Amino acid sequence: MEDARLKLLLRKYVNDTISEAELREFFEIVARPESMRLLRRYAAELDIPDAAGSKLPDQTASGILLNILYPDQADASQKLFLLQYEKSRKRRRRIFSISAAACFLLALVLFFFKGNNHPDFAALNGHNQIIKDALPGHAGAVLTLSTGKTYLLDTMGNGILVPGINKSAKGVSVLKNDEIYYATLETPYGRNQQLTLSDGTRVWLNAGSSIHFPSVFKGSERRVEVTGEAYFEVVHDDKQPFIVMAGNDEIRDLGTHFNVNAYCDEALVKTTLLEGSVQIGGYTLQPGQQYAGGRIEKVDADGTIAWVSDLFHFEDADIETVMRQLSRWYNVQVKYEGHIPSQKFEGEIQRSLKLSQALSLIAGTGIHYTLDGNLLTVHP
């Protein structure tokens, strides 16, 4: 009954037909962490005709976020940054199929704090210091050929970089050609990049990642090596299987969309399947499953690739997990002073925000910090 009520109240809120009593009820339900997945699903189902192609109004975004996080601080809107999310007309079905109502949901940046649904607003500013802010990452990479020649893509215009490799606004593409060589595309911290291989397979590289690949796939298989995090949409070919090496894991495509997390500072290499199937050792994954260290478990696969849609996604994440992701994207070093906080986090934050803005949401749990350019110090 409450699920249906939440869906009804969400529609009324977006259409501005909600009463004051219903508004209070809506905020009460939304403030519960378990409501997040229901909100995402219901928002995707809603069709809001007058919202198509538009931005979410600033007052809507900031207003609901303030009421969720700071119900007793209604006059704090001038202190809290406005959250916006541009509507994308076309999204990949398996990433986040965004309707106008879903954009409403993402714009709210529904960031919940487990065990602390109503944080003290003073914590956002009272114990924190911003000496120098850090900007979010952006598209960019370093391309290194087997000849040793290196290209910094951030400083290069669009067009043919080397024979068989083209750069455009959509990313880097390996064109079909007769010249065979190997290349490595690396995204430093603070960078991400899209790559289309010569067979049409599409790859998204997260910050602090790399992929080693041939200009042309020859022989009985197509093999690449990755470090860091990469999302693949593989063009399937029974006669020439696609294989990804990540750490000690050999991931064999069976017609697949999947994500590989193989950062050296993470405990395990994690492969998450979104569509099709893959084989790892003697295991075969099904959509929604993740393989890590010889074990398979059911996970939120869409949440795993939220980064492809420019979102941080946290699910029962500790502060170190959160900070590792922030560190890679904002290219900052994280230092802990004193006891490491034990809070858990669940929710999503836009990666287009400045670091100070993202931190101000996290700080609502009572975590304190000092940000000085590329150094972020976390205090208990």
For the segment 315-326, the average pLDDT, to the nearest whole number, is 93
Looking at CATH, the fold of the domain delimited by 138-304 is given as Jelly Rolls (2.60.120)
Domains of the chain, residue spans? 2-108, 138-304
pLDDT of residue 372: 96
Is the confidence at residue 117, as pLDDT, over 60?
no
Q: Which residues contact 211 (CB under 8 A, 6 or more apart)?
A: 184, 185, 195, 203, 205, 224, 225, 226, 230
What band does 163 get if pLDDT is binned at 50, 70 and 90? confident
Rounded to whole angstroms, how far apart are CA atoms 288 and 274? 6
- Token duo for residue 274: 């979104």
Q: pLDDT higher for 353 or 109?
A: 353
- Token duo for residue 102: 């879903």
pLDDT of residue 7: 79
Each residue's pLDDT tens digit, 78-110: 222 222 222 222 323 323 333 333 333 433 434
pLDDT of residue 242: 96
What band does 345 get if pLDDT is binned at 50, 70 and 90? confident
For the segment 227-231, the average pLDDT, to the nearest whole number, is 98
Is the confidence at residue 30, as pLDDT, over 70?
no
Is the confidence at residue 239, as pLDDT, over 70?
yes
Is the confidence at residue 73, as pLDDT, over 60?
no
Q: Which residues contact 27 (CB under 8 A, 6 or more apart)?
A: 64, 67, 68, 71
Please work out, in degrees rounded to the nearest 5, the angle formed at the alpha carbon of residue 37 by the alpha carbons of 259 and 101.
Answer: 100
Is the confidence at residue 16, as pLDDT, over 80?
no
Is the confidence at residue 261, as pLDDT, over 80?
yes
What band does 134 get if pLDDT is binned at 50, 70 and 90? very high
For the segment 292-298, the average pLDDT, to the nearest whole number, is 95
Mean pLDDT of the chain: 78
What band does 32 get if pLDDT is binned at 50, 70 and 90? low
- Token duo for residue 2: 């409450």
Dihedral angle over CA of 263, 268, 269, 271, nearest 10? -120
Angle at which helices 20-30 and 35-45 pack, to 10 degrees? 120
pLDDT of residue 46: 60
